[in-house]
Amino acid sequence: MASDGKGQVRATVTLSDVARLAGVAPMTVSRYLNQPETVREPTRLKVRRAIEQTGYVHNRLAGALKSSRTRLVAVVVPMVTNPIFSDTFQAINERLVKAGYQVLLGVSGYQTEQEQELLEVILSRRPDGIILTGTLHTSLSRNRLRAAGVPVVETWDLSAEPIDMLVGFSHEQAGREVARQLVGQGYRRFALLAVDDPRGLRRADSFVQALAEQGITDVQRQTWQGLPSLAQGREGLSMLLEQSAVDSDGPSAVVCTSDTIAQGVLTEAAARGIAVPEQLAVMGFGDMAFAAHTFPALSTVRIDGTLMGDTAARLLLERLGGDAQSPATVDIGFSLVQRESTRTLES
């Protein structure tokens, strides 16, 4: 029952109501809703008009209880404002919708406890599958996911012990490769700007460790809580320059765990008349849409978020289709993008 907005209670529109208005059998309406390709076009048109006229909403839960399938897949991302994750979600959504699934989006904010709360609600909806960002979860989340018996795909990371299926790349290797490239270009004095995202911090730690293996141990480092922002990049470079005024030996390259922070560094450098890369090199991470169009264009690490999402959705659909041989782990890799914000120094 529902209210008509005037305090009067009106009956909920049923499938039989739609069938009566369309002049067809209730079974025909049911087939239109669940297998529209089996209904002739003229009949589909009559049923569609009746649904629009009555405002009928299909009770998918009732069908799910009969089939043990909800046709629902939950996707959890840390944030929706970062184009990297939005590209991944868009790819997931496109493939799953084409396969007849509805997608439920949850945002964890990089907090495992928040993800735990989300998963409790998600699992109560009995989804057919779950796609997660990252491999860091609370013990309770891991236990719940394994006990639920639904396919799970973790993304944006690699792990020796995935919950089920995994699509990602090595953050540690990305950090090492950035260090290798910049040292190979002749840079020796480094600063590192990061936020406390656990995956970004792992890249940062690997970057610093790789530099230490090259005999470079004095790395200025600044970390912020929360999400990456342009303001952090501007603030970070300002602090580095203040410290350089004291030490008289500032960094020749600033490495950022996000393109957004790197863009802030470029902005602050331009405001202060610091030439990039002649006086200061800047390196980002993510290859966001703006990275190629900053001034100068930003050198960065490219992750194919669209490939990540499409691969995750494909593996999930294969498992749901009965393919028990879906690979447990897919490493999509990464690539270093050399643009104008870094250069090879003359020896």
194, part of any domain: yes
pLDDT at 8: 45
pLDDT in tens, 15-72: 888 999 999 998 998 888 878 888 899 999 999 999 888 877 776 555 555 556 788 9
Range of the domain at 288: 171-302
Among 38, 58, 78, the domain boundary falls at 58
For the ranges 9-18, 34-43, 91-100, 153-162, the lowest mean pLDDT is seen at: 9-18
- Does residue 164 share a domain with residue 115? yes
pLDDT in tens, 329-339: 999 999 999 99
pLDDT at 148: 85
Query: Which ranges of the chain would DSSP assign to H, the alpha helix?
Result: 15-22, 26-34, 41-54, 60-67, 83-98, 112-124, 139-148, 171-184, 198-213, 230-247, 259-271, 305-320
345, part of any domain: no
More confident position, 209 or 84: 209
- Does residue 309 share a domain with residue 165? yes
CATH number of the domain to which 125 belongs? 3.40.50.2300
250, part of any domain: yes
**What average pLDDT is seen over the chain?**
89
63, part of any domain: no
Q: For the chain, how many structural domains are there in total?
A: 3
- Does residue 100 share a domain with residue 186? no
- Does residue 160 share a domain with residue 176? no
Three-class DSSP category at 40: coil
pLDDT at 9: 39
Please return the burial class of 104, using the count of CB atoms within 10 Å of its CB with bins 0-12, 13-18 and 19+.
middle
Give the closest residue to 178 by CA, choosing from 195, 202, 197: 202
The rounded percent of the chain whose pLDDT value lies above 90 is 68
CATH number of the domain to which 15 belongs? 1.10.260.40
User: Mean pLDDT throughout 200-226?
Assistant: 95
pTM of the model: 0.78
pLDDT in tens, 173-184: 999 999 999 999
For the ranges 73-87, 121-135, 230-244, 303-317, the lowest mean pLDDT is seen at: 73-87
Angle subtended at Cα 285 by Cα 280 and Cα 286, rounded to the nearest 5 degrees: 140
- Does residue 195 share a domain with residue 278? yes
Confidence bin at 6 (pLDDT 50/70/90): very low
- Does residue 159 share a domain with residue 215? no
pLDDT at 63: 55
Report CA-CA distances (Å) from 304 to 53, 79, 91, 109.
44, 17, 11, 21
341, part of any domain: no
Distance CA 135, CA 216 (A): 31
DSSP state of 291: G
Tokens of 63: 């069908």
Three-class DSSP category at 251: coil
- Does residue 36 share a domain with residue 19? yes
